[in-house]
Amino acid sequence: MGIFKSIDNPSTRKGGSKSALDYVGKKAELTKGINCSDDYIEAYKDFQETKELYNKLGGRQFKHFVLSFGEETKSNEIALEMSEKIASKIFNGHEVFLAVHSDTDNLHCHMVVNSVM
């Protein structure tokens, strides 16, 4: 059985989303950007450009979620595909960076979501 949870990281500092993207991007087996780059360094730039465009540089910078998969999900590609479908529905229109990790017993996908749409 899979689990979807929010990671409590209410960073309001400008580099907060960069730290989160660095963490999830560096350890990732696979990455995918929705409405942003597939590369975590470029995704941060995309997040910042959107914030500047709408003059929303203060407040919460991002939200961080993790989708953990059950033992039956063994493929990074399937985990990424399922995560992309879910993130596209839940965060419709937002920039979302997806990063599949296999550093625990179960595959899981981090979702870093830009707070500005």
Tens digit of each residue's pLDDT, the chain (117 residues): 689 999 887 665 666 788 899 999 999 999 999 999 999 999 999 999 999 999 988 888 899 999 999 989 889 999 999 999 999 999 999 999 999 999 988 899 999 999 998
State the sign of the Cα–Cα–Cα–Cα dihedral 66, 69, 70, 71. Answer: negative
Q: In whole angstroms, give the CA distance from residue 53 to residue 44.
A: 14
State phi, psi for 43 to the nearest 5 degrees. -60, -40
Q: How far is CA 52 from the centre of its chain?
A: 20
Which residues, 6 or more positions from 1, have their beta carbon under 8 angstroms from its beta carbon?
Answer: 70
Question: What distance in Å separates the CA atoms of residue 102 and residue 117, rounded to the nearest whole number?
Answer: 29
Out of 3.40.50.11440, 3.30.930.30, 3.40.50.1820, 3.40.220.10, the CATH code matching 3-114 is 3.30.930.30
